[in-house]
Amino acid sequence: MSAPISTVPAGVRVRVPAKINLALCVGPPRADGFHPLATVYQAVSLFDEVQAGWEDPGVFAVSVSGEGADLVPTDDDNLAVRAARLLAERYGEGQPLGVSMAIHKSIPVAGGLAGGSSNGAAALLACADLWALDVSLEQMLALAGELGSDVPFALLGGTALGSGRGEQVAPVLGRGSYHWVLGFGWTGLSTPAVYRTHDQLRPDAPPPEVPDELMAALRAGDAQRLGRALVNDLQEPALRLQPQLRQTLETGIEYGALGAIVSGSGPTCAFLVKSEAAAIDLCVALTSDGVVRTARRTVGPVPGARLLS
């Protein structure tokens, strides 16, 4: 006898990656307070998971487990909840929609890896599928841009150029796969505080531009060249706020990293290494030196938010 087919739609699961910025070039603040960016994002193999199931109409609930779960709000401030509400409002057309989401985190909170943004992107995709809404990728990218500067990239993944305030994304045709070690800091950094420090340090910041050399390194798939070309205008401000990160970066280079950089607004440090074996060695070195709370091996680029079931 075959099993009865449930009429209740099964829940959906979405896996979404962390991002690092290979270049993060920051201009002077705009009238709206945001900064114009010229950035190159890369999605790396450190994933959060968002599971979504039906709830009573008008209920938008979330629970959070895993890395840094106690730091994540579970009320209407949660980016996944905001994403679900926004989607229902714009594309739900008066339908009786509700959702209960469970986020499992591996991406550290306030780490400069777009962990919160990735949860917003995952929620958009999960809810659109759960509720069977007719939303195109372009429409979803536009909603993502309303939710936050890094949210569209979390949908796209791979390697991409970001402009505007980071929300306008276009894929980069690059070659190769890279080994990245991520060193997590002991405490998070506030992104607005890092941008404020940037403005104090560089009141005359020029319009942002991604260096040609970095794009050439990506086109060539040359990890040595890429390691030397990594650039982040938020690194100096992040180091002002957490001076110990300088030693973290130096330790990585001492142990043979091809490049070392603060990821986004920090405090996570990203180290480009030449092989998986080098990544294993560097993880051991960083953690045994105690310069990081923990270290993870990742590869990039990987795809953006994807449905698992």
Q: From the CA atom positions of the chain, what is the Rg in Å?
A: 20
Tell me: does residue 188 bind ligand C5P (CB under 6 A). no
Residue 18: helix, strand or coil by DSSP?
A: strand
Q: 34, 68, 90, 168: which one contacts ligand C5P (CB under 6 A)?
A: 34
Nearest to 84 by CA among 140, 28, 46, 30: 140
> Which contiguous run of DSSP H or E holds residue 268?
none
Using CB under 6 A, pick the residue from 120, 152, 158, 166 that binds ligand C5P.
166
CA distances from 230 to 16, 123, 249, 292 (A): 24, 31, 13, 21
CB of 209 to ligand C5P, least distance (A): 15
For the question of residue 274 being annotated catalytic, the response is: no
Of 99-158, binders to ligand C5P (CB under 6 A) are: 117, 148-150
CB of 299 to ligand C5P, least distance (A): 25
- Considering the complex, what minimum distance in angstroms separates the CB of residue 275 from ligand C5P? 33
Of 3-11, 33-41, 214-222, 249-257, which part binds ligand C5P (CB under 6 A)? 33-41
Q: From the candidates 32, 150, 204, 233, give the one annotated as an active-site residue.
A: 150
105 is catalytic: no
Measured from the CB atom, is 114 or 217 closer to ligand C5P? 114
Q: Segment contacting ligand C5P (CB under 6 A): 85-93, 188-196, 204-212, 222-230?
A: 188-196
- Angle 81-20-128 (CA atoms, 0-180°, nearest 5)? 30
Q: Least CB distance from residue 149 to ligand C5P, whole Å? A: 3
Q: Does 37 bind ligand C5P (CB under 6 A)?
A: yes
Return all residues near 282 (Cβ < 8 A) that are at least 6 apart: 181, 252, 255, 256, 257, 271, 273, 295
Q: What is the DSSP letter of 206?
A: P
User: Which is nearer to ligand C5P, 34 or 54 (by Cβ)?
Assistant: 34
**Cβ closest to ligand C5P, residue 13 vs residue 198:** 198
Per CB under 6 A, the segment of 52-60, 120-128, 189-197, 225-233 that binds ligand C5P is: 189-197
Q: Does 165 bind ligand C5P (CB under 6 A)?
A: yes
Residue the block writes with tokens 């993944």: 157
Taking CB atoms within 8 Å and a gap of at least 24, the contacts of 214-221 are 214/22, 214/23, 214/40, 215/40, 215/172, 218/22, 218/40, 218/159, 218/172, 218/174, 218/175, 219/173, 219/174, 219/175, 220/175, 221/174, 221/175, 221/176
- Contacts to ligand C5P by CB under 6 A: 34-35, 37, 117, 148-150, 165-166, 191-192, 195
Active-site positions? 19, 150
